[in-house]
């Protein structure tokens, strides 16, 4: 348990510096394709390559850019089955057992939730059988009252955090 798994946990070690329109455009480009050269991004946003580099460095240091990672195809790595699992727990003593679960690469997201459930899990597994095994291990943690599993039939959209907001996207929107 003495492992320093930072892996994907929020850092937020950043300066609360405001982002301007240029920052947002750069972030938008990088969130789509981080292999773009600074020169190419600079052409898009109207900046020189070193200027883009400077901003990206700042965005990295501030934690706005958490990491640059490869997005893998679930099916291609042998995990074609995606599911969300809602877990109802007794009390708040979930933390200990939770850490053990996070060791499993099948788990991608773990959120505490408001609403009629306590915990929302996003998992990706090889087969229904693997899902069954995963559920069994969740109950082994203890303090689990019930689970509800939502198997994903098809994914229509799956993209990273977007830098843009609705306001600067569509001006004519009927947003009240």
Partner DNA sequence: TATGAAAATGAGAAATA
Partner DNA sequence: TATTTCTCATTTTCATA
Interface with its own copies (CB under 8 A), residue from 67, 90, 93, 96: 67
Q: Identify the residue whose tokens are 């982002």.
A: 19
Per-residue interface string for the shown chain with its own copies, residues 95-124, x marking contact by CB under 8 A:
---x---xxxxxxxxxxxxxx-x--x---x
Establish if 15 lies at the interface with DNA (CB under 7 A).
no
141 scored as a contact of its own copies (CB under 8 A) = no
Is 76 one of the binding residues for its own copies (CB under 8 A)? Answer: yes
Residue 112 interacting entry, from DNA, its own copies, none, C-beta within 5 to 8 Å by type: its own copies
Coil/strand/helix, residue 124: strand
Check binding of 22 to DNA (CB under 7 A). yes
Residue 5 in tokens: 């798994």
Residue 167 and residue 169: Cα distance in Å, rounded?
Answer: 5
Residue 67 near DNA by CB under 7 A: no
**Residues contacting 120, CB < 8 A, separation 6+:** 84, 85, 86, 87, 109, 110, 111, 113
Using CB under 7 A as the binding rule, the residues of this chain from 36 to 65 that contact DNA are 36-39, 42, 46-51, 53-55, 57
Task: Look at residues 26, 16, 6 and name the one whose alpha carbon lies nearest to residue 62.
Answer: 16
Measured distance CA(46)–CA(59) in Å, rounded? 18
Binding interface with DNA (CB under 7 A): 22, 36-39, 42, 46-51, 53-55, 57
């Amino acid at each position: 348990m003495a492992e320093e798994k930072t892996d994907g946990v929020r850092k937020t070690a950043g300066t609360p510096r405001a982002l301007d329109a240029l920052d947002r455009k750069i972030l938008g480009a990088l969130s789509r394709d981080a292999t773009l050269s600074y020169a190419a991004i600079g052409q898009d946003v109207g900046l020189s390559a070193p200027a883009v580099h400077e901003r990206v460095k700042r965005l990295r240091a501030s934690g706005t850019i958490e990491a640059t990672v490869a997005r893998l195809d679930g099916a291609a790595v042998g995990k074609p089955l995606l599911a969300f699992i809602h877990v109802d727990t007794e009390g708040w003593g979930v933390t200990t057992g939770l850490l053990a679960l996070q060791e499993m690469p099948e788990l991608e997201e773990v959120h505490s939730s408001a609403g009629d459930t306590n915990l929302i899990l996003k998992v990706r597994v090889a087969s229904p059988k693997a899902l069954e095994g995963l559920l069994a291990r969740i109950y082994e943690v203890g303090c689990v009252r019930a689970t509800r599993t939502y198997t994903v039939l098809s994914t229509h959209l799956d993209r990273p955090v977007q830098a843009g907001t609705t306001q600067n996207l569509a001006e004519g929107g009927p947003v009240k």
